[in-house]
Every structure is written in C-alpha cells, then in structure tokens.
C-alpha cells in the first residue's frame, strides 16, 4: 500500500510508432507519422529508452514491482510530460 506520494512519475508520452503493411501493393506516395499516446508510470529512463508500466506495487521490503511494461526508444519520442 502506498503511504505518501507515488514513488515514480506518471507520464504522458507521444511517440511515432512503427507500422507494418501486409499484402501485395505498391509503396505509398507519401509516408506519414503514426503518432500514438502512451500514459503510465515512468519506471526507468535511459539515454536510449523510456520504460513505462501501467501498474506498480511496492513489496514489504520497499522494492517497486511493475507490470504491463512498454519500452519506447527515445528517438521515437516526440515529447512527454509528467502528469503527476
């Protein structure tokens, strides 16, 4: 149970996702960004990646466990902000 502030920031990340195409076709004339929005707990940030989890929970020893993570390469991130 949390007593006090949540130990990691809750963030909103806008990033340019990869997209796949399947089937016979010709290359489109123009390629456009496929921007997506991800919100969650920023459990780790490095120079190369943001690791966002949608669920966090401390154990009795104070370790922060996290679940349902997505690792986003920072070069795909357009911007992000801390919500709280």
Per residue in 17-28, pLDDT tens?
998 888 999 988
Number of H helices, E strands in the chain: 0, 5
Residue 41 CB burial class (10 angstroms; 0-12, 13-18, ≥19): buried
Is pLDDT at 4 greater than 90 in this prediction? no
Span 36-78, pLDDT tens digits:
999 999 999 999 999 999 999 988 888 899 999 999 999 999 9
């Amino acid at each position: 149970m949390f007593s006090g502030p949540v130990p990691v920031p809750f963030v909103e990340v806008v990033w340019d996702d990869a997209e796949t195409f399947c089937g016979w076709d010709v290359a489109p004339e123009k390629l456009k960004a496929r921007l997506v929005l991800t919100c969650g707990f920023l459990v780790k940030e490095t120079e190369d990646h943001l690791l966002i989890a949608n669920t966090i929970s401390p154990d009795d020893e104070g370790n922060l466990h996290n679940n349902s993570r997505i690792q986003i390469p920072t070069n795909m991130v357009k911007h992000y902000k801390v919500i709280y």
